Amino acid sequence: MRQTDSRHFGMSALETPTLAQLTTIGVGGPVDQFVEPQTEEEFIAAVCSADAAGLPLLVIGGGSNLLISDEPFHGVVVRDKRHGVSALKTGIALNETAGAVKIVAGAGVNWDDFVAFCVSSGFSGVEGLSGVPGTVGASVVQNIGAYGQEVASSVSSVRVFDRKNGDIQKLNPADMHFGYRSSALKSSMYSAPATPADHYFPTPRYVVLSVSFMLQRSDANEVAFGQLAKALGVSMGERMPIVAIRQAVLRVRASKGMLEDPGRYASRWMQGCKDQSNISQAALQRILAKLGNGVVARDIEEAKPDFDRHSCGSFFMNPILTQAQAATLPEDAPRFDAMLSDGRPGVKTSAAWLIDHAGFHKGHKVRKEAKAGLSTLHTLALTNRGGADAGDIAELAKTLQDGVEERFGVRLVPEPVVVGMNLR
Ligand SMILES: Cc1cc2nc3c(=O)[nH]c(=O)nc-3n(C[C@H](O)[C@H](O)[C@H](O)COP(=O)(O)OP(=O)(O)OC[C@H]3O[C@@H](n4cnc5c(N)ncnc54)[C@H](O)[C@@H]3O)c2cc1C
């Protein structure tokens, strides 16, 4: 277990990472203690020891859904070191009879390594989630979703450590209460939307140790999203090879800057967190995407970092409104059937549409020289344009929230876990 402690060594910058070095948006202050357990036992021990000492605990995965303040984090950051695909392979158990395959992945396994492994093995069910940054453990915390798939539909059970009862439990899908970008684990962190609970924040009460997936043994699957069907030149619902679906998803995501920057894995603190061959593939695809956008090959090496990728992905949830609230929106605002948290029928609208129609377009900055800005490729991604701190990102986020509320009466709720700052 790698364990570094800035207090003991007295050299925070050298001995422990900053949260800026561990997160995709590249902001966040120094941490007191950083622990990388290599076994499940060490993982649980690290969690228990932080809780017993009454220290703030951040179990971190890929750091792709976190916005953390620049202040020092006077607690323990734990990152499960069981990253490799080897952790994945050893966990496989095949169910030959049902045409289904069960795969067990450790919490620390990189999510896209997992998807790449499934697709190359001919296991369908998660190919639409190609390129979502982060880890297997966090995928079930917010029930990741994209291009017509949600992780909830392939999870068969989640093995967790319950910080309250101090025991290991197996949670079935019904226990997980999966919803739109939510789960029982995420709910355990909040007392109201964007309002942290007294306990179990910024890490849920249930720490994910591993996830069991039930996938189909099949080289093909239905194309479940219009934009994807268009990219593939087929109709919605048509069956396509999962290898082709994965490639199309990665291309579409690259065109919107909704992939992480593979360059982050070169840093000292990220090395080993993702399979090297998948990093190389991602780097190659990044070059191809740039060429596709008209960038000349010789300029690529010298080009600035991909600031459009230095984000937390979609920064705001798509709001689910009451029917009365939705009726006040302009006629052309997107509307989809959805369920309110109390079970009543509601209407989901698009956060990106609201932001854009409130006058904040791609590339928007609060000031010309600001170091944070909306992605130039995606209205919903707040990005670090180089040298931004958490305050810069928060200023932009609040400007968008206030502007949308003033224009449409809807307060946008952040999707990332916001630590040490108030973005209500
Ligand atoms: C460019 C980009 C694109 C994105 N696109 C999508 C998308 O299409 N769809 C989507 O749903 N999301 C998307 N996201 C958001 C993000 O990728 C997901 O939320 C992802 O699951 C976060 O994983 P992580 O390991 O990085 O979690 P982190 O950011 O490290 O942590 C997030 C939360 O999960 C908790 N957590 C982490 N590991 C564990 C564990 N083992 N047990 C319990 N809690 C844990 C943390 O404590 C924290 O509260 C995108 C992000 C980026 C940067």
Q: Using the 8-state DSSP alphabet, how is residue 284 labeled?
A: H
Q: Is the distance from the beta carbon of residue 377 to the nearest atom of ligand 1 less than 6 Å?
A: no
Q: Where are the alpha helices (DSSP H) in 82-145?
A: 85-89, 111-121, 136-139
Is the CB of residue 262 below 6 angstroms from any atom belonging to ligand 1? Answer: no
Active site residue 181: yes
Residue 313, ligand 1, Cβ within 6 A: yes
Catalytic residue among 79, 163, 181, 205: 181
68 CA → ligand 1 middle, Å = 13
Class level of CATH domain 85-255: alpha beta
Residue 151 CB contacts under 8 Å (≥ 6 apart), including other chains: 126, 129, 139, 140, 143, 144, 145
The segment(s) of the chain belonging to CATH 3.30.465.10 are 85-255
Residue 408 CA to ligand 1 centre (angstroms): 29
Pairing of strands 167-171, 66-68: unpaired
Q: Give the residue range(s) of CATH 3.30.43.10 domains in the chain.
A: 2-78
For residue 64, how far is its CA from the centre of ligand 1 (angstroms)?
Answer: 5
CB distance 104 to ligand 1 below 6 Å: no
Beta strands in 197-268 (DSSP E): 206-217, 220-222, 239-241
* Cβ(21) – ligand 1 distance below 6 Å: no
| CATH number for the domain formed by residue range(s) 2-78 | 3.30.43.10
Identify the CA nearest to 46 among candidates 61, 65, 59.
59
Residue 98: per-residue pLDDT = 52
> Tens place of pLDDT for every residue, the chain, 424 residues?
666 665 443 333 348 999 999 999 999 999 999 999 999 999 999 999 999 999 999 999 999 999 999 999 999 999 999 875 555 655 555 555 458 888 899 999 999 999 999 999 999 999 999 999 999 999 999 999 999 999 999 999 999 999 999 999 999 999 999 998 999 999 999 998 889 998 899 999 999 999 999 999 999 999 999 999 999 999 999 999 999 999 999 999 999 999 999 999 999 999 999 999 999 989 888 888 777 766 666 666 555 678 999 999 999 999 999 999 999 999 999 999 999 988 899 999 999 999 999 999 999 999 999 999 999 999 999 999 999 999 999 999 999 999 999 999 999 999 999 999 999 8
Which residue lies with its CA nearest to atom 50 of ligand 1? 313
- In the chain, list all ranges with CATH 3.90.78.10: 308-419
191 is catalytic: no
d(CA 368, CA 365): 6
Q: Out of 3.30.930.10, 3.40.1170.60, 3.90.78.10, 3.30.1600.10, which CATH number does the structure's domain 308-419 have?
A: 3.90.78.10
Residue 413 near ligand 1, beta carbon < 6 Å: no
Q: Which of 314, 350, 375, 385 is catalytic?
A: 314
Q: Is 415 a catalytic residue?
A: yes
Evaluate whether 407 touches 349 at the Cβ level (below 8 Å): no
Regarding beta strands 417-419 and 66-68, do their DSSP bridges make them parallel or antiparallel, or are they unpaired? parallel
